[in-house]
Amino acid sequence: MDSVQASQAELEYLLREVNFVIPDANMTTNDIIYCLAGIRPLPATRSETEEAEITRRHLILDHEDEGLNGLISIIGGKLTTFRNLAEETVDTIYEKLRKHPPPCHTATTPMWGGGMKHIGQYIEENTKKYSAEFRVDEEQVAYLISIYGSRFWRVLELTKKAPELRERICPHNLDIKAQILFSLQNELPRTLADIYLRRTGIGTSACRGLDCAKEAARLMGKTLHWRRRRIKQEVENYEREIELLYGCD
């Protein structure tokens, strides 16, 4: 499952559907920049039910009937429903313990970087101010807000003592070098892939960060005290992971 790739049949199906819905697109395989495929966990079935008919809803399974008292599994679900799923699971655990669950506040408590009522208005009110204060483009301030929400200023604060951190990591993306340092200080990345694929959007952009992998690895190495050999290895590991992640059969 770590090296799932889109098949030729899947590519042809997607292209056919896009061209059907948008006839003027006239898309071919030459228009594909990269492929991304994954596996979605669905409840197993013993019948010959068509895959399309298998429920996409999540299941919370108590394994007590199997002699595994205390083990509860979550089957299915998706990232966009994680909060509600967590609430249901906790309620299930309390019910099993025959206790009344405490009030759940996760539906109304803002996540880290949240709290603004209107994101568009928030961006409009802050781009000019912080662009002037930290000497970065308004476009980059707006981008940082879209990533870090109301905590975007914490990234910009790092540029006060090190103005070079205002520079872009990659010429094809709006991410700045301060984001790498912020991530290292707050988000526990340990590899270049962690930064490019799971902390910024560089690894999912058209260039996939391949043009600036060395520069980012050097910046990480400076903070994490990597030797030249480790920096070189990080770049090679990242290139290999990109090939596995975005390759097409």
Residue percentage of the chain with pLDDT more than 90: 75
CB atoms closer than 10 angstroms to residue 140: 19
Q: What is the pLDDT of residues 164-184, one digit of tens each?
A: 999 999 989 999 999 999 999
Domain contains 33: no
Residue 30 within any structural domain of the chain = no
Whole-number pLDDT of residue 113 = 94
- Are both 233 and 181 inside the same structural domain? yes
- In this predicted structure, what is the pLDDT of residue 215? 93
List the Cα angle 202/206/207 in 5-degree steps.
65
Q: Are residues 98 and 214 in the same domain?
A: no
- The whole-angstrom separation of Cα 132 and Cα 142 is 13
Residue with tokens 């790739």: 5
Q: Are 128 and 224 found together in one domain? A: yes
Shared domain for 123 and 96, answered yes or no, is no
Domain limits for position 62: 46-109
Quick one: 224 and 139 in the same domain? yes
| Domain assignment of residue 6, yes or no | no
In a domain, 182, yes or no: yes
Q: Contact 113/151 with Cβ under 8 angstroms?
A: yes
**Residue 1, pLDDT score:** 62
Domain boundary among 75, 109, 143: 109
Q: Across all residues in the chain, what is the average pLDDT?
A: 91
Tell me: do 135 and 55 sit in the same domain.
Answer: no
Same domain, 143 and 216: yes
pLDDT of 49 > 70? The answer is no
Residue 98 sits in the same domain as residue 185: no
Give the model's confidence band at 58: pLDDT under 50 very low, under 70 low, under 90 confident, else very high.
Answer: confident
Residue range 115-130: average pLDDT? 94
Q: Who has greater pLDDT, 249 or 11?
A: 11
Token pair 């770590």 is found at 2
pLDDT, greater one: 119 or 39: 119
Give the total residue count for the chain.
249
Domain CATH code at residue 163: 1.10.8.870
The domain boundary, picked from 55, 89, 109, lies at 109
Model pLDDT, residue 48? 60
Same domain, 148 and 242: yes
Q: pTM here?
A: 0.84
| pLDDT, tens only, 74-92 | 888 788 888 999 999 999 9
Same structural domain for residues 129 and 228?
Answer: yes
Residue 102 lies in a domain: yes
pLDDT for 16 beyond 80: yes
pLDDT of residue 79: 82
Bridge partners (DSSP) of residue 61 are: 73
| Reported confidence tier of residue 38, pLDDT bands at 50, 70, 90 | confident
Whether residue 55 is predicted with pLDDT greater than 90 in this model: the reply is no
In a domain, 7, yes or no: no
Q: Is 227 inside a domain boundary?
A: yes
How does residue 52 score in pLDDT terms, banded at 50, 70 and 90? low
For residue 127, the model assigns a pLDDT of 96
Give the total number of structural domains in the chain: 2
